[in-house]
Amino acid sequence: MAERFEPAEFKARVDTVLGEFLAAEAEQLRAIDQALEPVAEQLRAAAGHGKRLRAAFCYWGWRAAGQPDSEPLVRAAASMELVHAAAMVHDDLIDDSPLRHNLPTAHVALRTAVTGRPRARAAARCLAMLVGDHLMALAGQLFATSGLPAAYLARARPVWADLARELIAGECLEILSTGTDPDPRVSLKVVRYKTAKYTVEQPLLIGALLAGGTARLRAGLSAYGLPLGEAFQLRDDLLGLFGEPGRTGKASLDDIRGRRPTALLAAAWRAARPAQREHLAGVLGRRDLTEDHLRDVRELMTALKAPDEVEDMIASRVRDAVGRLDALDLPHPARHALTEHARLATDRHR
């Protein structure tokens, strides 16, 4: 890759790696039995979208340590996107979300494979769970076979263990706190462990460790990555309720229907008067929600200035993240890329 900052060029490289890797794996499944075709297709399609931010953060963690561009590193970085694909299949399953990227989610798409069977809906959900499990296993396989020296890979292994543990912990915390009274402290912990760490901080650390980066560099990247990852998820929470489904590719009612412990909901709950809380509580978790309910919740949250509070949280975290780069002696391309990625990760509509 040239020294100039070209997100689209990097994305194309990662897309190529993922496309070829998952197509080969899908063929392996089909070779076992043609009945696995629907599963193979969902596996192949699972990582077909996205800006490849997680791969980019891994790449720039490597470059921040002074290492040059490397095709094996791009392959290792692409494995971060398989972690994300696995997490999204599982997340959609847990939340019973019907859409992602304006397409049926895996557990919905797989219903056609079991139409007419006993307990077809449950069978489709089981298939989707196994697709997500396999994607996580494939992430490790792609990383291990990236072509980087074994000694480099060994340096990053502890962070891989942290990533898996903390991602699962965040998802479990969200499930355990769903349906309870919204709590800002709990919401931010879910944000941190479910999304922020595996989206920004841990890919950066993996890249830096692969490159042999110093402890000082890794501490600085962590200080940049954690607030930025939190800002990323806070933006996602806002888009989940206030974004346009045609642009986000997801249903706007999902967070309300699931009564998820988002920071946005916690901010509204904290600011609400008793009558407003009662009104909000009467909507949260309902399965028969309509666009009228969505409009009412949006109007109430706007009146309570909850979106403004979350916007302030995003802006302060982005400023904190970018400011942390000043203390690091980074190569110019890495400094420029990480500054730009702070904008790309949080100034978005989907």
In the chain the domains, ranked by start, together with CATH numbers, are 7-346 (1.10.600.10)
List per-residue pLDDT tens for the chain, 350 residues long.
Answer: 446 678 999 999 999 999 999 999 999 999 999 999 999 999 999 999 989 999 999 999 999 999 999 999 999 999 999 999 999 999 999 988 888 888 999 999 999 999 998 899 999 999 999 999 999 999 999 999 999 999 999 999 999 999 999 999 999 999 999 888 889 999 999 999 999 999 999 999 999 999 999 999 999 999 999 999 999 999 998 998 888 877 766 667 777 777 788 899 999 999 999 999 998 888 887 878 888 888 888 999 999 999 999 999 999 999 999 999 999 999 999 999 999 999 999 987 66
Predicted confidence at residue 2, as pLDDT, reads 45
Residue 68 carries which DSSP code? P
CB-CB contact of 113 with 262 (8 Å): no
**HSE on the CB side for 226, CA within 13 Å?**
12
Nearest to 321 by CA among 193, 232, 195: 232
What is the amino acid identity at position 12? A
Nearest to 163 by CA among 227, 86, 93, 237: 86
H/E run at residue 49: none
Quick one: how far is CA 101 from the chain centroid?
A: 13
CB-CB contact of 63 with 331 (8 Å): yes
pTM, rounded to two decimals: 0.93
